[in-house]
């Protein structure tokens, strides 16, 4: 029997079996059927939902409850196999605003290497931004990490980013792709 499954299905199969989300005999019976990827994704999202993660667009998100510095928030995420959030689209920013409210939370954006050059935790450059009016402003030359949910942006629904001192305690927003196993 030749398997003609897209890479995501194989990664999903491996993860479902590794995490014991479905017995091997069930997975074996499903290999090759068109509903395989859908079932596997359902199993993964249900498992993450039970652990407090929220699903959107092939990613899961987790909102920490303890306030920490940016680097401590990032460590919190990486200990869970994730990283601080990288926002790639307006739809994702709108989802974050809706799902997590107006709580100030670290995102994976910083200009610590070079002032004014904002980079994500995966070292990619900033291409889509949702800064609040007047941000980033590097107030007192000490704001090098970014948050979403800026309290000053109460009337705005999307543009809620601000730069903060990296040691300022706020919660972290973790993101994990379901296609990277």
pLDDT at position 47 is: 65
Residue range 53-177, CATH number = 3.10.100.10
pTM (global) more than 0.85: no
Cα 102 to Cα 83: distance, rounded to the nearest angstrom: 20
- Under the banding of pLDDT at 50, 70 and 90, the label for residue 99 is confident
pLDDT digits (tens, 9 = 90+) for 23-42: 444 444 554 444 555 666 66
At residue 176, φ and ψ (nearest 5 deg) are -140, 130
Would you kindly state where each structural domain of the chain is located, as residue ranges?
A: 1-51, 53-177
Element (H, E) at 59: strand 59-63
Partner residues linked to 173 by β-bridges: 63
pLDDT digits (tens, 9 = 90+) for 118-167: 999 999 999 999 999 899 999 999 999 999 988 765 555 677 899 999 99
């Amino acid at each position: 029997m030749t398997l003609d499954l897209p890479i995501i299905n194989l990664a999903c199969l491996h993860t479902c079996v590794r995490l014991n989300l479905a017995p091997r005999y069930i997975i074996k019976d499903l290999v090759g059927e068109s509903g395989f990827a859908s079932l596997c994704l359902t199993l993964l999202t249900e498992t993450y939902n039970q652990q407090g993660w929220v699903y959107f667009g092939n990613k899961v998100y987790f909102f920490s409850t303890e306030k920490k510095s940016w680097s401590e928030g990032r460590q919190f995420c990486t200990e869970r196999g994730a990283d601080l959030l990288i926002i790639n689209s307006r739809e994702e920013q709108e989802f974050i605003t809706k799902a997590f409210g107006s709580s100030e939370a670290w995102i994976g954006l910083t200009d610590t290497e070079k002032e004014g050059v904002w980079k994500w935790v995966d070292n990619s450059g900033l291409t889509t931004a949702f800064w609040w009016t007047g941000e980033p402003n590097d107030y007192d030359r000490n704001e090098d990490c970014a948050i979403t949910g800026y309290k000053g942006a109460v009337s705005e629904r999307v543009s809620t980013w601000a730069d903060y001192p990296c040691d300022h305690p706020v919660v972290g927003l973790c993101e994990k792709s379901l296609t990277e196993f």
